[in-house]
Structure 1
């Protein structure tokens, strides 16, 4: 099969290679997917770069957690009826050497989710890490109907789905975003109010919108950097749910301020989600896909030979939405 891989950590242009590898075969409990479109997430580029000391543990790594395609083979114990199903794939490269940046990927049966008939492969490749993370962040602490939810970094892939899911769940959603195009993206996602987090009066702007009532839940992309804002705007009994803290990886907590209000801080890593939470997220995403109730912004599309450029674009945060890599010429377009 045609595949992209790296055998050492480093810059995308330096280490990513395109070539031929043997076709993988599914073992018991697995399925093989002929990949049409792969997604590129920050986690993919961080693994490749060796961020946080994450050196590769196998001789060769095919990157890519997310993707979409068609199941063409199944291992023992998997229903033969799965062959031919159009699926989206998640977490393919987590604790496994070979991900979705290839013509074929093998994953455990449960990580290949059947798509509604009319869902394009590009949409399926947008889901995975962003959609599952967003669902966990929004609903891990219960329903949000009638609540006010603050989503930081409102133009990101996770934030986009978090806004849509929170609105679907009945919440009023406030988003933060910097540049005007990112603010516009957050509004298109459905945010009821968007605040430029760079404004010196950003806290006041949020509380003005809520008429002085603090928010019930925060979905946060930059925990350490955003602490001044989230501390000031989280309600008593509220929850700050965070899935990243890149700018300030070891934040200092305002402990007593949080303690006096019984604030819960929850961290989310999609790869460590409890199985019931993953199933719930998949069920809800499938239902919303059937209803056409989700949108799927795409930052850019690349071909597999240009995967290094795709990784670089994600590292440089180019564009708004998911960065995709088309693996085959037959891949459907949104």
Structure 2
């Protein structure tokens, strides 16, 4: 099986090379380019493609992949909101993902954003480098006793709740399905209205779909506590960035931590330090002292990368050697 690997950075290649050593009948060919209508021609003569969070797998691209005879789409991530699943199913192209690469990696990064915003370590670091040891303006708060709202309690959400429970926080959760393990831990499931009204910190760990698109918007922000902290390490479009900026200006949002951004496909995972970023909303976000943005690095740990590579290769092998069984695998989406 010959696989075209798109959006492949050097660190992806290193881990995929290791994982593929035990799969001699699978050949991986790496492309740093993102998959799009402009680059889809690179997939000619391949049997499958492997893609990442910002690759374009819309209907026109999948139609072209089908014309090339592509037999599978192997996502190297948990989310698949960038894949037109209906189109893939129509062309009988199985799509699979990596649902559990390292939930604690993302959960711990969400906590890192909370701690950074709270204790203002990003500002303190630069002060000390300049010989400024003044504490004025660096006041934080104790996490113990604070109410933390977690929207989405799958693997990552569960890991996040366990960490915040360890800080001594009261944890409120919202999800379509209650997590029995979290209930045993003592968390409380509430409706979104109650979570917005009671939470000092709100962290998003839900998938992006029609019902969660711009979940954080002007209306939902107005229902929150004054000075609320909002953390998003899931998908960028969960937050309406412009309306979040309005909330920052009014003081309704006291802290905003983002590891993802709705228009990140144009800038994230690339070195843009010598370029002008043509996104006024994003540029404005970076001017706020109570906003911390990281470049979609929540998943980026050694364990997670190796698990992503291992699962991706295991899925490709399963597809190649036992396609009927593959259709029953949990990692298969369609």
TM-score, length basis structure 2: 0.41
TM-score, length basis structure 1: 0.41
The structure that is helix-richer by fraction is 2
Q: Which has the larger radius of gyration?
A: 2
The structure that is strand-richer by fraction is 1
